[in-house]
């Protein structure tokens, strides 16, 4: 695999947190190269460094040592504003707890990342509508998250991650709060995004979820313990009536 074409390239990345006098070595030399269009699951026990790795990939935190190149550009050379701009242009985030504003409609939640992009209201609406349609929520744009099931809320969050047309979606335990039927629906959406050329990096501790990825990276004690490719299982959502209990 040539590093020049890598979308994400980490070279011997170390992360040390200081807690008073104690040093916590969250990452102990991680090298990882992800090409455009890959679907990578990151696994590993609690405390193995998965979230730290995702925060560095997501430019939310910087390595203590080592290099990180995002789309060919070394992140450490960018100032705060350039980094924020690069993050907004390149990355979309999905979290375990959805992180939606609960009393704000789905479409307004999805529009949030566009408020800083200098788009007109109409363009924001169009992009947000399209993103919600892409995750199967075109008919629920004006519902509020507190009127939606967990699976629907996570789909709103995925639409929000998609709306600015990112190259990469980073998802930390996106199915952690969902039942298994709903998890498959959400994984089917990630697979569709991946089929359309978006790179997906997803943290999970569930082997049942990791089998939908084409590559599995296992972390242990701040290091990559294994990195392997597999034929991903296709996520096939259950028929609609099976999920009807989750509909408001
Ligand atoms: P995981 O997501 O795999 O559970 P983390 O990346 O959250 O692992 O944590 C890796 C290690 O780094 C753990 O020992 C954790 O306690 C420590 N850690 C994570 N974030 C911080 C922080 N902000 N300050 C201090 N220690 C941290
Ligand atoms: Mg974590």
User: Per the domain annotation, does 1 fall within a domain?
Assistant: no
Closest residue by Cα to atom 12, ligand 1, is 26
The whole-number pLDDT of residue 1 equals 45
CB 218 near ligand 1, within 6 Å? no
pLDDT (tens digit per residue) in 146-194:
999 999 999 999 999 999 999 999 999 999 999 999 999 999 999 999 9
Nearest-CA residue for ligand 1 atom 24 is 17
Q: Does the Cβ of 49 fall within 6 Å of ligand 1?
A: yes
Kindly report the pTM of this predicted structure. Answer: 0.93
| Res. 239: pLDDT tops 50 | yes
Residue 109, in any domain of the structure: yes
Ligand 1, atom 13: nearest CA belongs to which residue? Answer: 47
Structure tokens at 226: 């294994």
Q: Does 22 reside within a domain? A: no
Query: How far, in Å, from the CA of 96 to the mean position of ligand 1?
Result: 16
Which token pair is 45?
């026990």
Q: Which atom of ligand 1 is nearest to the CA of 27?
A: 10
Structural contact between residues 207 and 185, judged by C-beta atoms closer than 8 angstroms: no
Would residue 73 count as lying in a domain? Answer: no
Closest atom of ligand 1 to 52 CA is 6
| Residue 112, domain member (yes or no) | yes
How many degrees, rounded to 5, is the angle at CA 200 between CA 196 and CA 204?
140
Nearest residue (CA) to ligand 1, atom 18: 26
- Going by C-alpha positions, the residue among 50, 22, 73 that lies closest to residue 220 is 50
Q: Which atom from ligand 1 is nearest to the alpha carbon of 53?
A: 6
Residues 6+ apart with CB under 8 A from 236: 184, 188
Instruction: Specify the pLDDT at position 240.
Output: 67
Span 72-112, pLDDT tens digits: 999 988 999 999 999 999 999 999 999 999 889 999 999 99
Whether residue 70 is contained in a domain is answered as: no
Q: Is position 16 within any domain?
A: no
Q: How many domains does the chain have?
A: 1
**135 CA to centre of own chain:** 15
What CATH number does the domain containing 136 carry? 3.40.50.300
Specify the ligand 1 atom closest to the Cα of 18. 25
Asked whether residue 66 is domain-assigned, the answer is no
Q: Name the residue at shortest CA distance from atom 20 of ligand 1.
A: 52
pLDDT at 140: 95
Closest CA to 56 of 22, 83, 20: 83
Q: What is the pLDDT of residue 241?
A: 56
Using a pLDDT cut of 90, give the percent of the chain over it: 88
Domain range enclosing 111? 36-55+80-244
Atom of ligand 1 at shortest range from CA of 49: 6
Asked whether 37 lines ligand 1 (CB < 6 A), one says no
43 lines ligand 1 (CB under 6 A): no
More confident residue, 1 or 58: 58
CA of 49 to the centre of ligand 1 (A): 6
């Amino acid at each position: 695999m040539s590093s020049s074409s890598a979308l994400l390239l980490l070279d011997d990345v170390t992360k040390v947190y200081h807690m008073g006098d104690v040093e916590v070595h969250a990452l102990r030399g991680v090298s990882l190269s992800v090409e455009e269009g890959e679907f990578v699951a990151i696994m590993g026990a609690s405390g193995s460094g998965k979230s730290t790795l995702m925060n560095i990939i997501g430019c939310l935190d910087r390595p203590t040592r080592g290099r990180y190149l995002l789309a060919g550009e070394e992140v450490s050379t960018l100032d705060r504003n350039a980094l924020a701009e690069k993050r907004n242009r390149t990355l979309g985030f999905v979290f375990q707890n959805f992180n939606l504003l609960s009393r704000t409609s789905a479409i307004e939640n999805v529009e949030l990342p566009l408020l800083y992009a200098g788009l007109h209201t109409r363009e924001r609406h169009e992009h947000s509508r399209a993103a919600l349609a892409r995750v199967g929520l075109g008919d629920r744009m004006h519902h509020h998250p507190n009127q939606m099931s967990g699976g629907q809320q996570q789909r709103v969050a995925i639409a929000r991650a998609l709306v600015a047309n990112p190259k990469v979606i980073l998802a930390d335990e996106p199915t952690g709060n969902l039942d298994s039927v709903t998890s498959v629906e959400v994984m089917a959406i990630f697979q569709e995004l991946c089929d359309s050329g978006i790179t997906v990096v997803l943290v999970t501790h569930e082997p049942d979820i990791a089998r939908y990825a084409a590559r599995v990276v296992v972390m242990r004690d701040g290091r990559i313990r294994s990195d392997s490719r597999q034929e991903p299982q296709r996520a096939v959502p259950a028929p609609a009536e099976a999920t009807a209990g989750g509909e408001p």
